[in-house]
Amino acid sequence: MFHFAFAMGVLVFFFVVLFAYLQTAAPSTTGDESLIQLLTFAHLVYALAAYGSSVLVHRTIVSRALADGVRMYSAERALSGLRTASVVRLAIMEAVAFFGLVALFLSIQTGTLQANPVYWVNLFSTVVLLTFVGWSFPSRERLELLVSRRLQQ
């Protein structure tokens, strides 16, 4: 159920950003575009680093959760480890999405987005998060598949 909570926080802020965009008239002058360029570049670098690290962290936590000693000790502890791995991965992805939305919001406030729509690229991490939440929403089948894959290793 926490998947839904991660998605909703980002989605609500996205609608705030969208509302700000729709309410903002085209400015006669735009703000300093160099700040928005820097934030966009930082967002893209941060996204690449965060997505890579989220995969590594998730694998590490899942491996520990399904280690022989833990499995034999308690299925509850193993499931708790799987839940922790998912929460950590989604938290990392959510942070990237919020960073992108803040960059997008600032580009609206400075008038840069209206003058140069390429900065909508900052929305990609939000799309990635929402797609990932939909794809990885927990189900019995996904849990059984994850556990069976890890047990075979």
Decide: 61 and 84 in contact? Cβ < 8 Å: yes
In a domain, 23, yes or no: no
Residue 142, Ramachandran bin (φ over 0: left; ψ between -120 and 50: alpha; else beta): alpha
Can you tell me whether residue 74 is helix, strand or coil? coil
The token pair that represents 29 in the structure block: 């002058």
In a domain, 120, yes or no: yes
DSSP letter for 25, please: P
In a domain, 83, yes or no: yes
Enclosing domain of residue 61: 2-18+33-152
Residues in the chain with pLDDT values less than 70 = 1, 26-31, 68-75, 146-147, 149-153
Q: What does the alpha-carbon distance between residue 126 and residue 47 come to, in Å, rounded to a whole number?
A: 11
In a domain, 148, yes or no: yes
Can you tell me whether residue 47 is helix, strand or coil? helix
In a domain, 25, yes or no: no
pLDDT at residue number 104: 95
In a domain, 58, yes or no: yes
Decide: 39 and 103 in contact? Cβ < 8 Å: yes
Enter the pTM of the model.
0.83
Q: What does the alpha-carbon distance between residue 117 and residue 11 come to, in Å, rounded to a whole number?
A: 21
Which alpha helices (H) appear in the chain, and where do they start and end? 2-23, 33-65, 68-73, 75-109, 112-115, 124-136, 140-152
Domains of the chain: total: 1
pLDDT at residue number 55: 93
In a domain, 136, yes or no: yes
In a domain, 28, yes or no: no
